[in-house]
Structure 1
Amino acid sequence: MIKSKIEIHDKFSVIIDVTYDTISKRKKSRYTTLTYLFLPDSLNVNGKTYPATKFYNDVRLFLKYDTPNYTLSELSHGEGNLLTNLTKNAKIVLKTKSDQNLSRFKNQVKMFAATFSSLLREETDSLIKRKEISNNDVIDFLGKIKLILSEFRAIASVIKESSFKDIHKNVVFYADEHMSNVIELELMQLFNSFKNRKIGANSLELIVALIESEQKYKKQKNYVSPKDKNVNPEDLLYKRNRLKKYIESVFFLYQDIRKDGAAFEQTVLALAAGLAMVFSTAVAFYYQQVYGNFTMPFFIALVVGYMLKDRIKGSVSQLFVSKSNSFFYDYKIKVTNALNNKIGVIKEKFSFVSLKNLGPKVKKHRQKDMVIGISERSLNEQIIEYKKKVTIYPKKFGNDLSDENILGLTDITRLNFHRFIQYMDDPKKDYILVKKGEVYMKAANKVYNINIIQKYYTEEGIEFSRYRVIMNRNGIKRIEKVVLD
């Protein structure tokens, strides 16, 4: 099973977020993904101006465990919930302070804080998108947050009074501060949304009260708080970002990136050198027999033989390597967890392809919702194909964390489009409007559409998705999802 989405990361970057599930606990799970970028020819992005080295400079890959599929309520309720498990592990580590128990406990604290933050973002977005919201919905939502915080902070108080070293205690305090930061930011988004929609004043007061409560709590605990007048806003944002990276690092995996087929390539180069050497040696033996040693003809034949040897070596090497490239990817990434166990392999490959070589369904999806009904040949686009082959090994998957519900690998690919803007026109263009006999000059955004089609090969079949990235010289304006048949 595959879950995917594309979002704006910053002014010139998008994030393609794909989650691959482990299909079986016994056998490997395999996926192949093809991402096609359809670029207007006017951007001057082609095989000559945009080689693979530039593409991989513009692509950043992050790999992580998929956040367990819970709800906020399930964090503190239900059999084997995360808070109960965290409390049990706290008691275990307080009783037996071994390195293994400490490491397990610290990872579980970070995992709980990261999971809580992710679920809070999801449920906040869900509330914002709902058409009708009652005061009871808001009370229930805020009540779940308060309950989770009170139970987690009870654990933090126990750890604070323990004989642990500060370096171990700080993990719990960092998690507490990070959760408080996320609550403040998400509730602020909820407040702004409700205020614009003119939802009941009582709901807004409850939201503001919890935000203010968290800011006072942070000041009381000597966390970085906006209520502290001596806090530099730059320092506040920097620490929040560092805390986020530290807490969420528990889910991120390690990558060992190698050139794919490197051993085969070296073998081919050695064979090419051997063939060239056979030729030059044969020439030397032949003319030695014909003209003898220390003669001018033999000397000339020897020089010519070595000249041809170098050319043969270069030509054969180039031929072999070019032919072998079709069998290998550009890079092979070994994915390992915190215990240095291999849990998967990802191979990636970049190339430009022509429209005629695309499958019929990809062509059909590209031509859907065209502004102008034109033929395939008239599209005049350059097409990038970014291919990934994903293999997940289930035996070691998630064995470094204490949650059996971690079943997915999330591939976060960040694509930077800044290199594409150099040939874009000015972001504003004038057009003429005639109204009541008067001629007016109006300005409109000059935009470019970069279409993205994704094709997924899974054990359950083939899936497609399509997005349209609308941008101009000033950056990405929005992303539109195109509904396919």
Structure 2
Amino acid sequence: MINIRTRIHDNYSVEFKESFVVDAGYRKNDFAVNTWIFVPNSLDIHPDSYSKEQFYRDVKSNVRLKTPVYLLRDIAGGDAVPLGYLRDAMSVMAKAPDTANIAEYEYQIKMFCAISKSSIRDEVQHILEKREMEDILKSCDNYMGYINGLVQGYRSLEQIIDVPTAGPELRAHFSFGDEFLSYMSVYYSFKLIKLLEGNPAAERQSAALKDFVRDTGHYRSRKGFPAVSADNRKNNDRLIYRYGVLRKYVASDLFIELEKKKDGVAVEQLYYSIAAGVAMIFATIVTVIFQKSFGSFPILLFLALIVSYMLKDRVKELARYYFAHKLGKKYFDNKAVINIKDQKVGHIKEGVDFVSASRIPAEVLEMRSRSNLMPASTHILDEKIILYRKLVTIDSHLLAQNSVYPLTGINDIFRLHFTSFFHKMDNAEQWLDLLEKDGSISKVRANKLYFINIITQVKDASESRYHHFRVKLTRDGIKGIEDLSREETL
């Protein structure tokens, strides 16, 4: 199964989170993602102005394991699996702080924090999506019990490493997790406080959440963790930076380092060798024919040899072009191996090309035509179409063997930066004349918008679905993204 979520990451980029969930019933799981990007012709994006290398520079991709899913209420329990794994790892490390035990201790801290962050986020999002206030208030009461249980459960383990064998450097890892959890618990609690704000019926729950935030702030101060300050900008800047570092630290054991290599290199060289051989055969045949026909005329034979040599190079280039075109259909630009703890569990391939409308599936063209803002605008506006292909293969058995936690797949989080698209845009602000009731003329401001339509097809063994997004741009950056998806199972 493949899930896609998208959001605006910053003024100039859109983030796509593609989740590839394996089916444990099949050892080999293949996933395909085809993304068509429809670019207005006025932006002057075409093969001569926008190369493959530029596209890959505009794409930033992070591949990571899917965080194991646990409910917040389960983690908050004293016998929760993640807390149990962490407790065991800390106890073993405290008794024998060797390299392997230290690595496991650090790994379990990171996993507990990553799992906790996801569970807090999911619980809060679940509450935010509720409609009945009575249900919301009950869920907030539960949340307070869960969040207190989680942070107190983690902090209670600190005594395990309060021993001579665990030096300051080892205790610092636990402190990193403590600081991260205190920040995340406050961050998501604020979302609930804002939800309840101004509602008299929620006074008790709102007060409890605010007390939790204050208590956590006092705890952070005692521990020496930086906190938000109303009048200290440098402190707040450090806080943002520190949180970014902690976030990367916690997620580091989930991220997968990919070393991209060109795909189909051996086959490419074989085809190019065949092209050279075809050209040589052609030149040899021409030489033999002319030698038999004009052997007694040295000048004509000399000219024939020159012509055959010239044509040989052209035949070689035509053959190379033909084979390269064939390779482009079957092979990809890049290939990367997915390794977990030095074991290969799969691979990712990617490729990008400009394509014509004749090479696009009818379903995609129909979805694109339905999203036109003006009737018949397809016939008025020209677009260049970029096809970004991705093929992911995962061995579900090897994936499951690499962790004590249930690993269900990977996430490919990639950002598409549109900075290259802004160069040929008009000024963002446009002015329109308006005739007022008194006959005077005034000017009103409007944005000069450009629309990039992105249609993504996701395929696995069981289904094929489409997602349609429309990105609104001005020269000043991204103004919005709309989900126009009308998913179809084919």
> With structure 1 as the length reference, what TM-score do the two structures score?
0.89
Partner of 1:116: 116
**Secondary structure in 2 matching 1:422:** coil
1:177 and 2:179 matched? yes
Distance 1:78 1:143, change over 3 A: closer
Cα offset, 1:84, TM superposition: 2.2
Alignment of 1:247-396 (within 5 A): 247-277=250-280, 309-337=312-340, 339-374=341-376, 376-396=378-398
Alignment of 1:44-443 (within 5 A): 44-77=44-77, 81-133=81-133, 134-161=136-163, 163-195=165-197, 200-226=202-228, 232-277=235-280, 309-337=312-340, 339-374=341-376, 376-404=378-406, 406-438=407-439, 439-443=441-445
Distance 1:453 1:327, change over 3 A: same
Which amino acid letter does the alignment assign opposite residue 321 of structure 2? Q
Which amino acid letter does the alignment assign opposite residue 53 of structure 2? T
Which amino acid letter does the alignment assign opposite residue 214 of structure 1? T
Cα offset, 1:30, TM superposition: 0.8
**1:165-195: CA deviation from partner (whole Å, max 9, x where unpaired):** 4333322211111111222322334334433
1:451 and 2:453 matched? yes
Could you tell me how far apart the structure 2 residues matched to 1:368 and 1:19 are? Answer: 27
Cα offset, 1:241, TM superposition: 0.7
Cα offset, 1:415, TM superposition: 0.4
**1:114-160: CA deviation from partner (whole Å, max 9, x where unpaired):** 11112222323333343344544323212211111111111123224
- Structure 2 residues not aligned, in runs of 5+: none
Could you tell me how far apart the structure 2 residues matched to 1:196 and 1:331 are? Answer: 54
Distance 1:323 1:69, change over 3 A: same
Which amino acid letter does the alignment assign opposite residue 10 of structure 2? D
Cα offset, 1:25, TM superposition: 5.0
Cα offset, 1:243, TM superposition: 0.9
**1:413-465: CA deviation from partner (whole Å, max 9, x where unpaired):** 21001111122222222234444344432112222222221111111111111
Could you tell me how far apart the structure 2 residues matched to 1:248 and 1:473 are? Answer: 35
Aligned partners of 2:95 and 2:165 also within 8 Å: no
**Secondary structure in 1 matching 2:185:** helix
CA RMSD, 1 decimal = 3.0
Identity of aligned residues (%): 28
Aligned partners of 2:337 and 2:344 also within 8 Å: yes
Cα offset, 1:286, TM superposition: 8.9
Could you tell me how far apart the structure 2 residues matched to 1:162 and 1:365 are? Answer: 66
Cα offset, 1:247, TM superposition: 0.7
Distance 1:480 1:194, change over 3 A: farther
Distance 1:455 1:285, change over 3 A: closer
Which amino acid letter does the alignment assign opposite residue 236 of structure 2? P
Distance 1:279 1:101, change over 3 A: same
Aligned partners of 1:34 and 1:455 also within 8 Å: yes
Which amino acid letter does the alignment assign opposite residue 430 of structure 2? K
1:474 and 2:468 matched? no
Cα offset, 1:370, TM superposition: 3.3
Deviates more, 1:327-336 or 1:121-130: 121-130
Aligned partners of 1:346 and 1:388 also within 8 Å: yes
Could you tell me how far apart the structure 2 residues matched to 1:198 and 1:129 are? Answer: 20
**Secondary structure in 2 matching 1:409:** strand
**Secondary structure in 2 matching 1:140:** helix
Cα offset, 1:321, TM superposition: 2.3
Could you tell me how far apart the structure 1 residues matched to 2:52 and 2:256 are? Answer: 25
Could you tell me how far apart the structure 1 residues matched to 2:70 and 2:329 are? Answer: 43
Could you tell me how far apart the structure 2 residues matched to 1:176 and 1:388 are? Answer: 38
Could you tell me how far apart the structure 2 residues matched to 1:80 and 1:191 are? Answer: 27
Query: How many residues of Structure 1 are paired with residues of Structure 2 in the alignment?
Result: 481
**Secondary structure in 2 matching 1:396:** helix
Deviates more, 1:392-401 or 1:325-334: 392-401
**Secondary structure in 1 matching 2:402:** coil
> With structure 2 as the length reference, what TM-score do the two structures score?
0.88
Distance 1:323 1:387, change over 3 A: same
Cα offset, 1:477, TM superposition: 1.7
Aligned partners of 1:135 and 1:202 also within 8 Å: no
Cα offset, 1:249, TM superposition: 1.2
**1:84-137: CA deviation from partner (whole Å, max 9, x where unpaired):** 232233233334444333322321210110111122223233333433445443
Cα offset, 1:78, TM superposition: 9.0
Aligned partners of 1:104 and 1:402 also within 8 Å: no
Cα offset, 1:8, TM superposition: 0.9
Could you tell me how far apart the structure 1 residues matched to 2:312 and 2:185 are? Answer: 70
Cα offset, 1:297, TM superposition: 8.4
Aligned partners of 1:108 and 1:401 also within 8 Å: no
Aligned partners of 2:94 and 2:163 also within 8 Å: no
Aligned partners of 1:104 and 1:401 also within 8 Å: no
Distance 1:180 1:380, change over 3 A: same
Aligned partners of 2:78 and 2:153 also within 8 Å: no
Could you tell me how far apart the structure 2 residues matched to 1:314 and 1:357 are? Answer: 25
Which amino acid letter does the alignment assign opposite residue 413 of structure 1? F
Could you tell me how far apart the structure 2 residues matched to 1:196 and 1:253 are? Answer: 45
**1:287-319: CA deviation from partner (whole Å, max 9, x where unpaired):** 999999xx9988877766655554444443333
Could you tell me how far apart the structure 2 residues matched to 1:58 and 1:196 are? Answer: 44
